[in-house]
Amino acid sequence: MASIIELKNIYKNFYTDEGEILVLKDVNLALERGKILGILGPSGSGKSTILNILTKLLQPTSGEVQIEGEIGYMFQKDHLLEWRTIMDNITIGLEIQHKVTTKALERIEHLLKIYGIWEFRNRYPKELSGGMRQRVALIRTLATDPDVLLLDEPFSALDYQTRLMVSDDIYKIIRQENKDAILVTHDISEAI
C-alpha cells in the first residue's frame, strides 16, 4: 500500500558543549493512507525530534524523508490566542497563507457546526472548557485542509476524564474527515 510519509534509515545527532548525542539511530517508519500511526516512547527518547524532522524544522544527520502532501501540526497545548475570537483563531493559518477564500470559510462553517463549536464562534478561548479548546485547535489544524495530521501529545494537558472524552472525539473527527495521522505520545493508553 502507498505510504504518505516514509522515514528511511534516519540518524540524528546533536552537538553540544558536552559532546555528541545520538538521538535517533536507524529509525524507519511508514504511514500508509487511511491509517493512524502511533509513536510511543518515554520522555527524551526523540519523539519531538522525529516530528521536527517531518515538519522540516530539523534536518536528519542522514537518511531519507519522503512526504506526500501537506502536513497539519497539532501541538500539546492548544496555543489559542486569548485576544482573538474562536473564529479568528481558527482562520489564523489561512490568513498567514493568504488563503481566506469563500470555499475555505464554508468548510470551516461546516466543521464548526458538525463538531458543536458554531454557537461559540464569536466567544473567546477563556470561555471554553479544556476539551472544547482542544477541539477548536483541531479545527484550526483542519482549516487549511492538510493531507496528514501530526498530533504531538495532544491530550496531555487535559485532566484524565476530559482526556478520555476528547481523545475519542478527536479520533472520530480524524476518521470522519478522512485524514491520515501520526500520534506521538509517552502514554500507552493514549496510543492504544
Ligand X SMILES: Nc1ncnc2c1ncn2[C@@H]1O[C@H](COP(=O)(O)OP(=O)(O)OP(=O)(O)O)[C@@H](O)[C@H]1O
Integer Cα distance of 119 and 111 in angstroms: 12
Residues within the interface to ligand X (CB under 6 A): 14, 16, 21, 23, 41, 43-49, 186
Nearest approach in angstroms of CB 184 to ligand X is 7
- The residues, ordered by sequence, that sit 6+ positions from 87 with a Cβ below 8 Å of its Cβ are 108, 112, 121, 122
Closest CB to ligand X among 41 and 116?
41
Closest CB to ligand X among 25 and 175?
25
Nearest approach in angstroms of CB 153 to ligand X is 7
Q: Which three cell numbers stand for residue 2?
A: 502507498
Nearest approach in angstroms of CB 175 to ligand X is 26
Closest CB to ligand X among 45 and 162?
45
Closest CB to ligand X among 17 and 82?
17
Nearest approach in angstroms of CB 41 to ligand X is 5
Nearest approach in angstroms of CB 46 to ligand X is 4
HEC assignment per residue over the chain: CCEEEEEEEEEEEEEECCEEEEEEEEEEEEEECCCEEEEECCCCCCHHHHHHHHCCCCCCCEEEEEECCCEEEECCCCCCCCCCCHHHHHCHHHHHCCCCCHHHHHHHHHHHHHCCCHHHCCCCHHHCCHHHHHHHHHHHHHHCCCCEEEEECCCCCCCHHHHHHHHHHHHHHHHHCCCEEEEEECCHHHHC
Closest CB to ligand X among 18 and 82?
18
Closest CB to ligand X among 21 and 81?
21
Nearest approach in angstroms of CB 190 to ligand X is 12
